[in-house]
Amino acid sequence: MPRYLRIVLLLTPGLGLVVVMMSMVIYRAVAQSFGLYNFGGEDILSLAHWQEMFDNRRYWSALRWSGYIATTSALLSVALAYPLALWLRRPFFGSTILSAMIKAPYFVPGLVAAFLLINVISFHGFVNEFMIWIGLWDKPVRMQNDENGYAIIGLQVWKQLPLAFLLLLGSIQSIPDSVLHAAQDLGAGTLARFRRVVLPLTMKAMQAALVLIFIGAAGDFSFQAIAGPARKNSMATLMTQLQGSNYSDWNGAAVVGVTLMGLSLVGAVALAGFVQLMTKFTENVR
Amino acid sequence: MGLEIENVGVRFGSFEALRSVNLTVDDGAFVTLLGPSGCGKTTLLNVIAGFLKPTSGTVRMDGMDISDTRPEARDTAMCFQSYALFPHLSVRENVAFGPRQKKVPKNEIVQRVSKLLDQMGLDIHAEKLPNALSGGQQQRVALARALAVAPGIVLFDEPLSNLDAKLRDQVRTEIRALQREVGFTAVYVTHDQAEALAMSDEVFLLNKGVVEQSGAPREIYFRPRTSFVADFIGAANLHVGKIKDGAMATPFGPLGVRGADALNKTVCWRPEVVRLGGDLQGAVTASAFQGGHLDLFVSAGDQTVRLQVPGSHEFDVGDEVSFGLDPENVVVLADEGHVDA
Ligand SMILES: Nc1ncnc2c1ncn2[C@@H]1O[C@H](COP(=O)(O)OP(=O)(O)OP(=O)(O)O)[C@@H](O)[C@H]1O
Ligand SMILES: [Mg+2]
């Protein structure tokens, strides 16, 4: 038996199942977006549903919105995780507690976190009541469901930062002190050491963090539904709206779903590529 | 660039890695720090480079106290014992790291780097990543990288330990020639005493966190101050006993000594200062022909000494041999009469 065949056969029971399930789901979503598997009528293969969505302003607005939230959350999480990981790279008194506190949000369900946040920032929430009580504000300030999605981004970062932190910490800890000393010895200050040594040596971990966070945030439903601006949709909330409520537009929802997968793929590749470009400073000397 | 280290102490918790180190290095001098493993050599280099803040004492460069100067602002470059190469950069980029950081003009970087790679025999490996190199090659990259910034002081932490004998000789000569040409001050750590004697203007012998003795190689070699120095540098013959009327009684016979009478003293002499024929006597227990000379191990009572005689002589085990020493070649050591092996 040829070697590759044996490998394929050995992998089939595990990987095969995953591949079959995944491709079935993706196939159905794609097929549905082109009018097949139609629950509401006859199956007609057509571009009509895509056409319809392309003409729908809510579709484009949701796509832009999800892209914006996902990119901002991913970049912000990584930007905040780097200094934390560098700081907690070597153990010191209290560092275990600190890093446990940073990781904790990862174990809090997103929905719970969103409700907690709302309790804090709502019109009659903790912050408003407190500010009025101490007399700094004379009437409550509207912070909930803000137009720029700061609450969602805040929630995303709070929730996803542990992931970036863990990935970067492992990667940073594998850089020997002597290598950082060598850079410092050759005249590299804090920033130069970060740019010329830490960044390129942790690039893979940073890419992984960006990609995972981007994909997670792009598909967000709960934060958007609870803390997002009322007049905006994320891809996921748009999907449920199309398919649920009174529209029952399964095919339209499929178009949004397929677009979301596309957004995840394109966004992930774009972010990873951006990082690669950024770290590939012109170190070459000929 | 001159270097002064004054009463420098370093503690790790309750452990004193350096107790009170004093040393002065003139501008352009080549000095070695010599000492057994764990005596604090790397620790001292880390203090000079600035990676480690001493618990006490001061470090001065060209007369200026640099205790609060950050490592990146110090005019030093270290050649690390563990190489510490940048794993993501090619050999050429590793060597160019320092000059680029110091904003040296591009074409000068290219020239400087190529020249160093040539000198270290690394030109054919220039585009490889460090992990594709052998230990000895990596060590030479570390060397080239430190030299490329043309610093005032170069700190070498056992830079040749991974090279074979022939390459070591060659690179050692290169380093010395380069140092004379460029004029940097060199602090060179080694635990190879032959290397220390061959290369340095001055040797600092470290033991248990203090400088036990310092001086020119000849002085250290022929005039050791303590039994530790005598024993660590080269093969020394030591005797412990009473000095009376310019002689010490040994199992080999009376040994002429230039020193005041004392009850309990250690004296030492080098194997090569001996001459055949004299009033000392013993039996040959082993002999090793070394080409130019013959190493003889000679015993009497419970003591054995080592003699070095011209290679033209022949001895068999068991032969009686008589030998003599000039009293001025016998050094009276400062420490009390105990030989610490
Ligand atoms: N970070 C540290 N924490 C605790 N002890 C340390 C630390 N660094 C070094 N030491 C101790 O200090 C002593 C001196 O170490 P150092 O590395 O300077 O020795 P060395 O003379 O360079 O030895 P070698 O020839 O083996 O390289 C050793 O006993 C070592 O265990
Ligand atoms: Mg060392």
Tens digits of residue pLDDT in A157-216: 999 999 999 999 999 999 999 999 999 999 999 999 998 999 999 999 999 999 999 999
Mean pLDDT of A230-240: 88
pLDDT value of position A246: 62
Among the candidates B222, B249, B270, a domain finishes at B222
pLDDT of residue A245: 67
Grade residue A149 by pLDDT with cuts at 50, 70 and 90. Answer: confident
The answer, yes or no, to whether residue A284 has pLDDT greater than 50, is no
Say yes or no: B280 and B205 in one domain: no
Asked if residue B335 has pLDDT above 90, the reply is no
**Is the per-residue pLDDT at A144 higher than 80?**
no
The protein residue whose alpha carbon is closest to atom 17 in ligand 1 is: B42
Distance B89 CA to ligand 2 centre (A): 25
> Using an 8 Å Cβ cutoff, are B255 and B330 in contact?
yes
Q: Which has more confidence, A78 or A142?
A: A78
- Contact A185/B77, CB-based, under 8 Å? yes
Say what the pLDDT of residue A281 is: 59
Residues B262 and B174 in one domain: no
E strands, B139-274, are: 153-157, 185-190, 202-207, 210-215, 237-244, 247-250, 253-256, 262-269
**Inter-chain CB proximity B101 and A188 less than 8 Å:** yes
CB–CB of B8/B19 below 8 Å?
no
Residue pairs between chains A and B whose CB atoms are closer than 8 Å? 74
pLDDT at residue B339, rounded to an integer: 45
Among A28-42, A110-124, A266-280, B44-58, which range has the highest average pLDDT? B44-58
- Assign B81 a pLDDT band (cuts: 50, 70, 90): confident
Q: Indicate if the pLDDT at residue B338 is higher than 60.
A: no
Interface of A with B in 192-221 (CB under 8 A): 192, 196-197, 200-201
The helix/strand/coil state of B305 is strand
Q: Which of the listed residues B197, B222, B247 is the one where a domain comes to its end?
A: B222
HSE, CB side, 13 Å, CA atoms: give it for residue A286.
1
Mean per-residue pLDDT, B171-192: 89
Alpha carbon distance B301, B282 (integer Å): 9
Q: Is residue B340 part of a domain?
A: no
Q: Judge whether B198 lies within some domain.
A: yes
Q: How far does residue B30's CA lie from ligand 2's centre (Å)?
A: 18
Domain annotation covers residue A136 = yes
Domain presence at residue B162? yes
In a domain, B229, yes or no: no
Domain for residue A41, yes or no? no
Q: Is residue A108 part of a domain?
A: yes
Nearest CB to A188 within list B72, B113, B146:
B72
Among B71, B76, B93, select the one facing A284 at the smallest CB separation. B93
Question: Per-residue pLDDT for B12 more than 80?
Answer: yes
> Does A4 fall in a domain?
no
Instruction: Tell me if A131 sits within 8 A of A137, measured CB to CB.
Output: yes
Total domains, chain B: 2
Nearest C-alpha in A relative to B106: A285
Q: pLDDT tier at A122 (50, 70, 90 boundaries)?
A: confident
Contacts of A178 in chain B (CB under 8 A): 80, 82, 84
- Identify whether B228 is part of a domain: no
B187-B51-A191-A194 Cα dihedral, nearest 10 degrees: 100
Q: Is the pLDDT of residue A248 over 90?
A: no
Say whether both B287 and B309 belong to one domain: yes
One domain, residues B271 and B201: no
- Among the residue ranges A86-95, A137-146, B22-31, the one predicted with the least confidence is A137-146
What integer pLDDT is reported at residue A108 of this predicted model? 85
For the segment B66-79, the average pLDDT, to the nearest whole number, is 91
At residue A283, the pLDDT reads: 55
Decide if B257 contacts B248 (C-beta within 8 A): yes
Query: Of B222, B256, B272, which residue sits at a domain end?
Result: B222
The single-letter DSSP state of residue B246 is T
Q: Ligand 1 pocket by C-beta < 6 Å: which residues?
A: B 12, 15, 17, 35, 37-43, 81, 191
Q: Indicate whether B199 and B100 sit together in one domain.
A: yes
The radius of gyration of chain B's CA atoms, rounded to the nearest angstrom, is: 24
B96–A contact, CB cutoff 8 A: yes
Same domain for B81 and B212?
yes
Q: How close, in Å, is residue B106 to chain A by CA atoms?
A: 8
The reply to whether B7 falls in a domain is yes
Tens digits of residue pLDDT in B283-294: 999 999 888 889
| Domain coverage including residue A174 | 57-284
For residue B328, the enclosing domain spans 236-332
Q: Which of A185, A195, A197, A202 to mutate to test the interface with B (most CBs of B within 10 A)?
A: A185
Tokens at residue B135, please?
């230990």
Residues B266 and B323 in one domain: yes
Residues B244 and B217 in one domain: no
Task: Tell me what pLDDT residue B110 has.
Answer: 93
Q: Are residues B218 and B240 in the same domain?
A: no
Whether residue B52 lies inside any domain: the answer is yes
Q: What angle do CA B291, B296, B300 make, to 5 degrees?
A: 175
Q: Residue A26 falls within a domain, yes or no?
A: no
Distance CA B175, CA B144 (A): 10
User: What's the confidence (pLDDT) of residue B162?
Assistant: 81
Task: Answer whether A179 touches B (CB < 8 Å).
Answer: yes
What is the Å distance from ligand 2's center to B82 Cα? 9
Mean pLDDT of A18-34: 89
What is the β-pairing status of strands B3-12 and B56-61?
Answer: antiparallel
Of A176, A186, A201, the CB nearest to B101: A186
Residue nearest to atom 2 of ligand 1 (CA): B12
Mean pLDDT confidence for B83-111: 93
Average pLDDT in the B269-298 region? 90
Does the beta-carbon distance from B84 to A181 stay under 8 Å?
yes
- CATH number for position A97: 1.10.3720.10
Tell me the pLDDT of chain A averaged across its residues. Answer: 87
Instruction: Indicate left, alpha or beta for A135 from its phi (over 0: left) and psi (-120 to 50: alpha).
Output: left
| Inter-chain residue contact B71 with A181, CB threshold 8 Å | yes
Residues of B in contact with A192 (CB under 8 A): 101
Per-residue confidence (pLDDT) for residue A247, from 0 to 100: 65
Q: Tens digits of per-residue pLDDT, A253-281?
A: 889 999 999 999 999 999 999 888 877 75
For ligand 1, atom 12, which residue shows the shortest CA distance? B17
Burial of B131 (0-12, 13-18, 19+ CB in 10 A): exposed
ipTM of the complex: 0.82
Q: In the predicted model, what is the mean pLDDT of chain B?
A: 90
Which tens digits make up the pLDDT trace of A54-68? 988 999 999 999 999
Q: What is the CATH number of the domain that holds B241?
A: 2.40.50.140
- Which chain B residues contact residue A183 at CB under 8 A? 86, 97
Nearest CA in chain A to B77: A185
Query: Do B70 and A189 lie within an 8 Å CB cutoff?
Result: yes
Pull the structure tokens for residue A17. Answer: 């199942």
Answer yes or no: do B28 and B76 share one domain. Answer: yes
Note whether B297 and B168 are same-domain residues.
no
Whether residue B170 sits in one domain with residue B21:
yes
Whichever domain contains B180, its CATH number is 3.40.50.300
